[in-house]
A and B are shown apart, each in its own frame.
Chain A
Amino acid sequence: MENQKFYYDNKIVKLFVLATIIWGVVGVIVGLLIALQLAFPVFNFDFEYTTFGRMRPLHTNAIIFAFVGNAIFAGVYYSLQKLLKARMFNDVLSKIHFWGWQLIIVLAAVTFALGISTSKEYAELEWPIDILITLVWVVFGWNMIGTIVKRRVQHIYAAIWWYLATFLGVAMLHVVNSLELPISLTKSYSIYAGAQDAVVQWWYGHNAVAFFLTTPFLGLMYYYLPKAANRPIYSYKLSIIHFWSLIFLYMWAGPHHLLYQALPDWAQALGVTFSIMLIAPSWGGMINGLLTLRGAWDRVRDNASLKFMVVAVTAYGMSTFEGPMMSLKFVNQLTHFTDWTIAHVHIAGMGWNAGLVFGMLYWMIPKLFRTKLFSEKLANLHFWIATLAILIYAIPLYWAAVTQWLMWHEYTAEGFLAYPNFLETLTQILPMYTVRIIGGTLFLIGFLIMVYNLFKTMKSGSVEDNELAEAPALVIQGRRNPLQETVHRWVERRGVRFSIWVFIVLAIGGAAEILPMIFIKSNIPTIESVLPYTPLELEGRDIYVSEGCHTCHSQVVRPFRWETDRYGEYSKIGEFVYDHPYQWGSRRTGPDLARAGYVGGPMYKNAAWHYNHFKNPQKMNEQSIMPKYDWFARKDVDLSMTPKKIRAMQILGVPYPEGYDEVAVDDYMKQAKEIVADLKKSNIDIEPTKEMVAMIAYMHKLGGDIAPLQLDEGTKEPAPQKEITLLSGVEDMGDADEVFTKICAACHGPSGKGIATFPDLTDAQWINGNSPSDVYYSIRNGNAVKGMIPYKDQLSDKQIIQLTSYILLKLNK
């Protein structure tokens, strides 16, 4: 048959390559910034727009959607045209895709810095950008499927199946998870609440890993690895089996992100089972990749591109074994909420994703620019620096995770938490955070070496924007002849039909996981005492959401003794029915706040404490790494939005009385003035409309509904009080000094002189008396309303007597 002439569109590939490189550098620099912030809070710059809570989503989104996203598109646009022997379906669609995606990235960067965020991990963008993503994604799919339809080869090669699964999977995940009710251009509420929101979010979150960080990369591996090694893929049969198994199983595994949390057991078991099963198809991919290199390992020795691909596939194998292990419930106790998760995702991100991108770029750019790589030596140097960087990044974090977890659940011989002050467990791992910075810096240096090498390569050659090629036209085959063609072969040769089958397989898992949670009421038992947020609390919650507080503070207490002793009663599913969106979080860099409003509980702090803590956390706890939020005391809440928010909540099913929106602002001011009056008692003057007041109200709402207000009298033990004999021994004083520094100094200051409004223990003024017995019982019973917890639950009797002695004999001489 006569050959047809056509032109490959190389210009669009070049544009995506450039975007990959530029956004990659930006993403890694922001990553380095947040690593610095965690070790040295000064890098928050005391500036609203650069706090960790706002920068962390900027880093994750820049890496996932800007760096990795553009790399996927570069890889797909290059390989798709070659594999199908056709130019992309439509140049205009290609351009809309490219510029639309860059616009989304810029909008993301700006809105995150401004604190415009839905707080749903990797889906933090607000609704107008979500719509833009949907449109651009449809353009991408349209362009890809159009190219498949007008191809000049009979068979659709395996890499393209993965590209199709990527398009369909991400489309489904993005649309379902982004369903939200807009209030204004920059604010919306998730239509799901609490546990439902958590299930939908982690169905999305887990499958964003699957369909943005795994399936497209397997597609790229199936093309670029054989090309770079100049050998066919090891087993095409294995590629078919592991393709269908992997896309089917991934969709079910989301709930493994929510183990031991407020979720029905069946959903947790579902997540665990399918996660374990995922090892098989994942390793199928890894084995297929590594065995492709059998007999070609000598090429790996000389070729940085192949080296990166080998590390990528190996990191993929490690991560896809580690992930299922982390989803075992017992292991998850350790890995969840600690830095284990952060190490895990960076092995996968820096090893598998970035590794494959680097390998692909080192192979593709010389081809695209019709030249040779500027320096293979520099590429090898990049390889060794990057590989070392991954290890220096991850090992300290695994260490940090184990250390912190051991500290979290260590008990003393008397049966008390050995480290009741959360901050101690964080301070212990800060040196590991410093080492992590070295890993990140090395990775950036390697990246910059690659940028130099690639730009020099580009400069030495030139791209033929429209590259001439020839291929015979595709002869359309009719119905399947069962004797000559298997069913799968028949499915493979029709792009649209193939896509429909992929969609069905993906939809089954998603539906089985999500629909029962949404529609079956028995899964979400309500609790009568849990009330909707007051307007003031709701505004406070919105500030909490927009600041990204969930990036450090979880809001779900798991049913372990070491968690309930530290934070209070474990969380119930019915507590979250009004939470649009949920705020359970996934990492505890700071303590859990689910019981921050439980008066008398271990987490309660009074309004004055919160005021001072928000303004300057380091003043309250010298070693705290929390950014300062002093603008809470300066900025006003936009009260014109409050009635709209109440109406939106009503639409979402929150049972506010009819017409409540009209009195919402009155209620807001009434509650705010109570907090203002409370602060006034501590000599703090603030206007009721300030963000600080709303935040304090929200903190005091958390977990308070299931724990009825207990006044301080309620926790006091009745007379007669026992006689206390003070202990003045050197050892007793030493022990007491240690406990005082760890626990008491946060409010009373390191030398006992008091901080802000918290009492000075060195002067002659005593609120509850200064006899040994008075001080002993003050410590033992605490003062719940003022935020001093009853320390009889955290300290032994001997420790309390030692503290009493320390205060009276040493501090108050």
Chain B
Amino acid sequence: MKIISNLLEGIEGIRIFYIFGLLLFFSLFIIILIRTLRRSNKEMDEIKKSILTDDDSNETAVS
């Protein structure tokens, strides 16, 4: 843990965590957003409908 302590103490300006977090989030977000939007709608439809095809797919049983 001392190694981490030394490393962190050496970082100038704690605000770097703040900026780092935002940058990391936005870069990951943009990548995931683009890649997700490019996925085929057909494939998405198949997946989301798959859960309705099992034996429980009837409407709620009510008296």
Contact = CB atoms under 8 A, between A and B. Distances in A.
Interface of A: 82-83, 85, 153, 155, 157, 159, 223, 226-228, 230-233, 235-237, 240-241, 244-245, 248-249, 252, 264, 266, 269-270, 273-274, 277, 299, 302-303, 305-306, 362-363, 366-367, 371-376, 469, 486-489, 508-509, 512-513, 515-516, 519-521, 523
Contacts of A227: 51-52, 56-57
B60 A228 contact: yes
A230 B15 CA distance: 49
A241 B63 contact: no
Contact of B60 (A226, A303, A374): A303
A266 B20 CA distance: 13
A487 B35 contact: yes
Main secondary structure of the interface of A (DSSP, over half): helix
Given A277-B25, A519-B5, A374 B47 contact: no
Nearest to B43: A489
Given A155-B50, A226-B48, A82 B56 contact: yes
A523 B14 contact: yes
Contacts of A159: 51
B37 A223 contact: no
Given A376-B63, A508-B24, A516 B14 contact: yes
B36 A520 contact: no
21 contacts: A83-B51, A223-B51, A226-B51, A230-B57, A230-B58, A231-B52, A232-B45, A236-B44, A241-B32, A241-B33, A241-B36, A244-B28, A303-B62, A305-B60, A371-B61, A373-B61, A486-B39, A488-B32, A508-B24, A519-B4, A519-B8
B9 A521 contact: yes
A361 B57 CA distance: 16
Contacts of B49: 232
B8 A515 contact: yes
A521 B33 CA distance: 39
Contacts, number: 128
A493 to B, nearest CB: 11
Nearest to B4: A519
Contacts of B52: 226-227, 230-232
Given A372-B61, A486-B35, A520 B48 contact: no
Nearest to A471: B54
Nearest to A460: B63
B15 to A, nearest CB: 6
B56 A367 contact: yes
Contacts of A237: 36-37, 39, 44
Nearest to B24: A508
Contacts of B56: 82, 227, 367
A355 to B, nearest CB: 16
Contact of B47 (A82, A85, A157, A230): A157
A236 B48 contact: yes
Nearest to B15: A266
B48 A233 contact: yes
Nearest to B10: A520
A252 B21 contact: yes
Contacts of A153: 50
Contacts of A270: 17-18, 21
Contact of B50 (A157, A228, A269, A488): A157
